[in-house]
A = this chain, B = another copy of it.
Amino acid sequence: MLSQIAPSDDLAFFRPHQFLARENERPEAYYDILEGWACRHRLLSDGRRQITALYLPGDLCDPIWPLSGVCHDAVVALTNVRAVRRPLGDMQPLDRSRGAGLRLAESIERQSGWLVSLGRKTAVERLAHLLLELFERMRRAGLAYGQQCALPLTQTDIADATGLTAVHVNRTLQAMRAKGVLEFHSKWLRIPDLGALRDLAALGPHDPV
């Protein structure tokens, strides 16, 4: 057991496709992700899938659970995930750690950004926005190396996060690669010019990322 982990906490491990939480379940604990990626998503009856959040190392999964007590969307691991399991039962909403409120606020801001992206942006803009956001989050987590970072998503995952089809994501990424604004192979992202990609993302001057 690691020294900074409280006695009542446990380490938890998940394999790809394994559920951290199921739809409309009352979660008993939430997870402080140490390693690996997970996502929250919703499936429509005909199979359409929308990813509504991505969880990276350092993220809480999910900061809203303490607040609402239920998780409406399923959460599944995208890679192997190692996390600290924090029981929900005995805590005051948002008071367990001082950072919980801020992290919740951040995740809500992020959702608004995604809403703008899905509602009003083109394929290129959505992809630029998403990849930039993920790179920035990895950088803040200390997991970027210069202009590069791991990005363990399939093109289908990216499609389900951006509201596009996998085929269109593939073609659009190729076009962006051809223009030299990004490199992305074997789950590894490199952004030669952050400013150029930021321009492509149609972000405002005040937007984070």
A residues in contact (CB < 8 Å) with B: 23-24, 40, 42-46, 48-50, 52, 64, 67-68, 72-73, 93-94, 101-102, 104-106, 108-109, 111-112, 114-116, 118-121, 160, 162-163, 202, 204, 206-207
Could you say which residues of chain B place their CB within 8 Å of the CB of A67? 101-102, 104-105, 108
Could you say which residues of chain B place their CB within 8 Å of the CB of A114? 115
State whether A115 touches B116 (Cβ < 8 A). Answer: no
Give the complex CA separation of A135 and B122 in angstroms: 31
* B106, B162, B206: the one within 8 Å of A23 (CB): B206
Sampled A-B contacts (28; CB under 8 Å): A42-B204, A44-B116, A44-B120, A44-B121, A44-B202, A45-B202, A46-B202, A49-B120, A50-B115, A50-B119, A64-B108, A67-B101, A67-B104, A67-B105, A67-B108, A68-B109, A72-B109, A72-B207, A73-B112, A94-B94, A94-B101, A111-B115, A114-B115, A115-B115, A115-B118, A118-B118, A119-B160, A120-B163
State whether A105 touches B64 (Cβ < 8 A). Answer: yes
Give the complex CA separation of A120 and B47 in angstroms: 10
* B45, B72, B105, B204: the one within 8 Å of A112 (CB): B72
CB distance from A201 to the nearest CB of B (A): 11
CB distance from A29 to the nearest CB of B (A): 18
